[in-house]
Structure 1
Amino acid sequence: MREQFYAAVIADILDDYGYRNQVMSHIIRPLKPETVVAGRAKTVLCSDVYEIPESPYQKEIEAVDRLAANQVLVCTTNGSVRYSFWGELLSTAAVARSATGAVIDGFTRDTRAIIEMDFPVFATGRLPTDSKGRGEVVDYDVTIDCGGVTVNTGDIVFGDDDGVVVIPQEVEQQVIQSAFRKVNQENQIRQELLEGASVRSVFDKYGIL
């Protein structure tokens, strides 16, 4: 899936099935160009706090420790600009659990180290500020809104330079099969265009643009 698909083709197929709000906000971007993330979501819900808890990080630690192979941690900070939720040490723990990436509707830090370890992270921005006393995980494996998209643990998450798209579990088989077909069609269209075919002729033939 990582090698064959791209966000745009998945978004197009979801549109065809009537799922027209599955692409996260454009401000959620990869830390490094040409990064691809793909896997099943593990959702995390954060909220701002205004004092240091007696035992900080508790549910954050639980959520990361319970990551499974091929999961993507998907977190919403509910738009907070006060702290970074993600960083190098959490990325290291995720790699050790064979997780495939993190998508954060919020900030990350330790950018250089994360890029060097080649762990896929998508976020709205970068900020060196720690979450302690500023933000806490209130729950995980619950329904969240991340970048304007409803996400549940187990949904398929795919992201590349164009953005992040979410495939709901109830239509994943149909979407994946249709996406494979469309990728093959687009490869044929690309070849015909290179050989001089007009855009009109290939659109009339395939119905794809």
Structure 2
Amino acid sequence: MNSDSQLFEVMKAKLYTGVICDTLDDLGYREQAMSEHVRPLQPDLVVVGRAKTILAADVYHVHEHPYKLEIQALDSIKPGEVVVMCTNQSVNNGIWGELLSTAAAMRGSTGAIVDGLIRDTRKIKDMNFPVFCKGIKPVDSRGRGIVIDYDCPVVAGGIRVHPGDVVFADCDGVAVIPSAVLEQTVELAVGKVERENNSRKELLEGKLLQDVFDKYGVL
């Protein structure tokens, strides 16, 4: 059995969301890509890691301890985890920003996926900390949104994510790999990439698409 670090290194070097989603399709997991509205703040950055799930909700008053669970969640991040914050696609506030990115990075997080809005984007970009989000809004979450749970199942970007599922995100979007099929997914996806590389080579040599497809079975 490969360790997470070995698998994630292979994934980051060789894979991309398209081939991961194709492989998950073949394994019977056809709804594992988050909504097209969850986009990278920096398209050249790639995220891979185990999901650290956080659940937030809109509020309409200032809570006595507005950041209590949010702080607990961030301080409990383990190295290699990707924050997956479910806001139920709220547009009420910029719940993620520079200081949360800094706290997450210092705990060893490899990135954050937020199905709501973020802020402090210039400073986050300066950090090169990968963040994916639905949009940008400069207002704070205090009195507008609050973390209500973490390390629990969430639905982010339309996809159910369990703690420990594997998140892979790049310029094309966000894919969620169920933990139980991680190794199988990586093995099959790497094989598909090799067939795609061979297909590309033969197409560049001038061979017909039909002949190449008949030989390698990928498109």
Give the equivalent residue in structure 1 for 2:64: 54
TM-score, normalised to structure 1, is 0.98
1:83 to 87, 93, 108: 93
Q: Is the contact between residue 89 and residue 134 of structure 2 (CA under 8 Å) also seen in structure 1?
A: no
Deviation at 1:95, TM superposition (A): 1.2
| Correspondence 1:92 to 2:111 | no
Q: Secondary structure at the match of 1:2?
A: helix
- The runs of 5 or more residues in structure 1 that have no matched partner are none
1:140 to 150, 162, 176: 150
Deviation at 1:45, TM superposition (A): 0.6
Q: Secondary structure at the match of 1:176?
A: helix
Deviation at 1:130, TM superposition (A): 0.4
Q: Give aligned pairs, total.
A: 209
Q: Is the contact between residue 90 and residue 116 of structure 2 (CA under 8 Å) also seen in structure 1?
A: yes
Mapping of 1:3-152 within 5 angstroms? Answer: 3-152=13-162
| Correspondence 1:201 to 2:211 | yes
- The letter of the residue matching 1:101 is G
- C-alpha distance in 2 between matches for 1:78 and 1:131: 14
Q: Secondary structure at the match of 2:116?
A: strand
- C-alpha distance in 2 between matches for 1:152 and 1:192: 41
- The letter of the residue matching 2:172 is D
Q: Secondary structure at the match of 2:72?
A: helix
Deviation at 1:33, TM superposition (A): 2.0
Deviation at 1:190, TM superposition (A): 1.1
- The runs of 5 or more residues in structure 2 that have no matched partner are 1-10
Q: Secondary structure at the match of 1:112?
A: helix
State the superposition RMSD in angstroms.
0.7
Q: Is the contact between residue 166 and residue 176 of structure 2 (CA under 8 Å) also seen in structure 1?
A: yes
Q: Is the contact between residue 51 and residue 167 of structure 2 (CA under 8 Å) also seen in structure 1?
A: yes
Deviation at 1:54, TM superposition (A): 0.7
Over residues 39-96 of structure 1, what are the superposed CA-to-partner deviations in whole Å (9 max), with x where a residue is unaligned? 1100011111111111111111011111111100001111211101110001111111
- C-alpha distance in 2 between matches for 1:34 and 1:194: 26
TM-score, normalised to structure 2, is 0.94
- C-alpha distance in 1 between matches for 2:99 and 2:140: 12
Give the equivalent residue in structure 1 for 2:187: 177
Q: Is the contact between residue 49 and residue 82 of structure 2 (CA under 8 Å) also seen in structure 1?
A: yes
- The letter of the residue matching 1:15 is D
- The letter of the residue matching 1:117 is M
Q: Secondary structure at the match of 1:181?
A: helix
- The letter of the residue matching 1:97 is R
Q: Percent identity?
A: 54
